[in-house]
Amino acid sequence: MIDPNWFYSALAQSAAAIVGLIGALVTSRVMMMASERSRIEKRINEINAEIKALERQNTPLLEYINEVDRKDNEDTINAFLQAKKPALNLENLPTGEELLKELLEEESIGKVNEDFNTMFKEKYKVVIEDIRSKKGNLAFPSLYRSLIAPSIIPNKQKYNRYNEYKGRVEKNDTEINYKDAKIQELQQQVSQIILPEHFKGLIASLIYFTIVGVILPLWLLPITPEQHLVWKPIVLAFFITGLFAIFLYIFIEIKHITEKPKNA
């Protein structure tokens, strides 16, 4: 009687070759995706570092710009209150909000925020206290000589630096916005690097095919010719189902790749 071992040996070798080939393709695909993801994430980290460097460059420039704006606002407030003081009446004082609204209508203020409003209200209180102290108008110039301190930096030089710094900040901000958009684009690319939709099905098919196509035939190698007559159709049926599962997955993936989008 013919030795049945050749049958199970051939099945095991064939199944092992198929599993090895598909496993190599899957491993190559996964490694390629991991490498691409790693490359993109590295680039994102590099761009983030570039953004932080630009923000660090902006920090001292913005401090200078904000300080110039603050001093200019302070000078504007002082000059406005000095002009308004002679007309102020303790019995019918306008509110700080009313004077502030009038100032904003008369003057073009570069940066109006909570700090500006607070500064105006504090200086308005100083003016009211000065009036109540009955020092008269003669005391007011001395008061404002102390409030309006001469700038250490000459105006021309100050505004040359101011405009230069503002231009550098705007340039850096434009570069930061561009890099932020680039990061979003790269993050979108990372989100698109995903395993095939039915990848788990392929792994399950490979495991099943390995069991029924490799392990089971090898386990039956010492079988007797009589037992071979019983196990041969069973093993062959398992082998065919495992092979069918793998090719079914391949067919589904090809159909998924070639299928046109619904919104096309």
CA dihedral 37, 43, 49, 52 (to 10 degrees): -90
**234 occurs within a structural domain:** no
What pLDDT is attached to residue 168?
A: 94
Band of pLDDT at residue 143, cut at 50, 70 and 90: very low
Considering all CA atoms of the chain, what is the largest pairwise distance in Å, rounded to the nearest integer?
131
Does residue 190 lie in a domain region? yes
When comparing pLDDT for 123 and 57, which is higher?
57
Amino acid at 264: A
Distance CA 212, CA 238 (A): 6
Long-range (24+ apart) CB contacts under 8 A made by 51-57 are: 51/176, 51/179, 51/180, 54/172, 54/175, 54/176, 54/179, 55/172, 55/176, 57/168, 57/172
> For residue 179, what pLDDT is reported?
95
159: in domain: yes
- In this prediction the pTM is 0.65
Residue 242 forms part of a structural domain: no
* Rounded CA separation 119/112 (Å): 11
**So what's the pLDDT on residue 183?**
95
Distance of alpha carbon 161 from alpha carbon 227, whole angstroms: 96
Q: One-letter amino acid identity for 46? A: E
Residue of 239, 250, 253 whose CA lies nearest to 17 = 239
DSSP letters for 184-224 = HHHHHHHHH----TTHHHHHHHHHHHHIIIIIHHHHTTT--
Q: Is residue 84 domain-resident?
A: yes
**pLDDT tens-digit map of 68-93:** 888 888 888 888 888 888 877 777 88
Position 263 scores a pLDDT of: 52
The pLDDT score that the predictor gives to residue 147 is: 45
Query: CA dihedral defined by 218, 220, 223, 229, rounded to 10 degrees?
Result: -120
13 in any annotated domain: yes
Whether 126 maps to a domain, the answer reads yes
Where residue 259 falls among pLDDT bands split at 50, 70, 90? low
Most confident of 31-35, 220-224, 258-262: 31-35
pLDDT for the residue numbered 75: 86
Residue 250, token pair as written in the block: 């391949």
> What's the number of domains the chain is made of?
1
Q: Across all residues in the chain, what is the average pLDDT? A: 82
Q: Over 80: is that where the pLDDT of 142 sits?
A: no
List % helix, strand, coil for the chain (3-state, nearest 5). Answer: 85, 0, 15
237 within a domain of the structure (yes/no): no
- Is the pLDDT at 181 greater than 90? The verdict is yes
Give the domain extent around 62: 5-194
**How confident is the model at residue 2, as a pLDDT?**
61
Instruction: Report whether 81 contacts 127 (CB < 8 A).
Output: yes
pLDDT of 138 higher than 60: no
What does the pLDDT read at residue 151? 43
Q: Residue 210's pLDDT is what? A: 92
